[in-house]
Structure 1
Amino acid sequence: MKFVAFERAKQGTGASRRLRITGRTPGIVYGGETPATQIEIDHNALWHALKKETFHSTILDMELAGKESKVLLRNVQMHPFRQLILHADFQRVEANTKLTMKVPLHFSGQEVSPAVKTENCMVTPVATELLISCLPADLPEFIAVDLSGLTKGSSLHAKDLTLPKGVSVVTRGKENPALVSVVALAEEVAVDPAAAAAAPAKGKAGAKAPAAKPAAKK
């Protein structure tokens, strides 16, 4: 994806506030051997771009001062309750430097898996994205996860994935985090209609009459 940015001359809280009033969003581009550059982006264009998954997980072409450079979206600050982007951070991409970032997981096949189809289980994704490391040229837009082989009592972990060439999983905290869990659903017990109808009748016949209350003394 491609977007256009403009160099931002004025900095500071007041300048950023005035910039947002004019329909622009302040931002910054950093990384590589070039010093960090303060930028501004058309707010509406950025707002619509952020709705697309690829804008968050792929290398972007940024046009700035007539030149194009490869960048990654690293952070977006949103207003607490207004539909307003407060700030956006981008990182320059160097072809020979590995990058670390999160990419989305696209699940498929759960509806035809034995766990769902024949074993009365529910397949629940535990994670929707995965932290990976790779060279920019090897960065996938997403990672496809096939769930068609899941069975009752099984699960899927990060090391179970078949990753694209040049891509490795980055684990922090857990060595092999779970991505999908399989949970057996509670089975409904079938009730015999005849037995159900007889049960209240029997209870009514066997019920004892309430004891008579003693007469009140005059």
Structure 2
Amino acid sequence: MANVFEFVAEARSAAGSSAAKVVRRQGKVPAVIYGGSEAPEMLTLDHNELLKHLAHEAVYSHVLDINVAGRAEKAVLKHIQRHPSKPVILHVDFMRVTKGHALKVRVPFHFVNEEVSVGVKKGGIVMHSMSDVEVSCIPSKLPEFIEIDMANIDLGSALHLSDLVLPEGVEIPELQLGHEHDQSVVQIIMPRAAESSDDAEEATEE
């Protein structure tokens, strides 16, 4: 993983919704870091700097450096609370990373060769059912994304979670819950307009 993301944070002592509102009025974002053998710690982050980091897709699937008063901790993003109608971050949760211990993180899909896939050449369109998936692995094996090659996907075919080619040491926990959790990730279907045209032609022939 080439990208390195450092979040400079400040420790805070006041808790509760009122204290969080004060933090936000100062142009900062209340946050918390938890997990590992240490107690949860409340933090504040600069809102503008946070937005710059979050503009990078890779930040959501990377081990991050959380710097608090010169003390660095490794963590991953676990939850972001956003304002429902404004480009404002309300709260951030970080989870500490322990070397050698497996962690669960959502990793985005990167779909390649969609335009040249077998099904698209036959007039089909690509329909995505999922844009990311939760994986389990040790921190050093965490992938930035999972690539899905669409070149050989035919019209009417679909790729499921069990069809994905995962990096070594990476698993999808949901697949361990049973076959019914093997969700469809992407498929190539015939456009509705084309289906309606075919139906009309069949009716005319009859």
TM class by smaller structure: 0.7 to 0.9
Q: CA deviation at 1:83?
A: 2.8
Letter in 1 for 2:66: M
| Structure 1 residue 78 corresponds to structure 2 residue 85 | no
Q: Which residue of 1 aligns with 2:56?
A: 52
| Structure 1 residue 15 corresponds to structure 2 residue 11 | no
| Structure 1 residue 120 corresponds to structure 2 residue 123 | yes
Q: CA deviation at 1:37?
A: 0.4
Q: Which residue of 2 aligns with 1:176?
A: 182
4+ long deviations beyond 4 Å: none
Question: 1:125 and 1:80, CA in 2 relative to 1: closer, same or farther beyond 3 A?
Answer: closer
Q: CA deviation at 1:131?
A: 1.5
Question: 1:175 and 1:13, CA in 2 relative to 1: closer, same or farther beyond 3 A?
Answer: closer
Q: Which of 133, 136, 147 does residue 133 from structure 1 map onto?
A: 136
Q: TM-score, normalised by structure 1?
A: 0.81
Q: TM-score, normalised by structure 2?
A: 0.86
SS at match of 1:150: coil
Q: CA deviation at 1:12?
A: 2.2
User: For the residues of structure 2 that align with 1:20 and 1:153, how far apart are their CA atoms?
Assistant: 50
CA-to-aligned-CA distance 1:72-131 (integer Å, 9 cap, x gap)? 1111112232332211110000012111121000001121111111x2211211110011
For the aligned residue pairs, the C-alpha RMSD in angstroms reads: 1.6
User: Percent identity at matched positions?
Assistant: 37
User: Going by fraction, where is helix more abundant, 1 or 2?
Assistant: 2
Which runs of no fewer than 5 residues in structure 1 stay unpaired? 190-218
User: For the residues of structure 2 that align with 1:41 and 1:82, how far apart are their CA atoms?
Assistant: 18
Q: CA deviation at 1:161?
A: 1.2
User: For the residues of structure 1 that align with 2:48 and 2:112, how far apart are their CA atoms?
Assistant: 33
CA-to-aligned-CA distance 1:154-194 (integer Å, 9 cap, x gap)? 111111111101001121673311111121231657xxxxx
Which runs of no fewer than 5 residues in structure 2 stay unpaired? 199-206
Q: Which of 146, 149, 153 does residue 156 from structure 2 map onto?
A: 153
Q: Which of 62, 68, 71 does residue 67 from structure 1 map onto?
A: 71
| Structure 1 residue 166 corresponds to structure 2 residue 169 | yes
Number of aligned positions between the proteins: 188
User: For the residues of structure 2 that align with 1:64 and 1:166, how far apart are their CA atoms?
Assistant: 31
Q: Which of 31, 38, 43 does residue 34 from structure 1 map onto?
A: 38
Q: Which has the larger radius of gyration?
A: 1
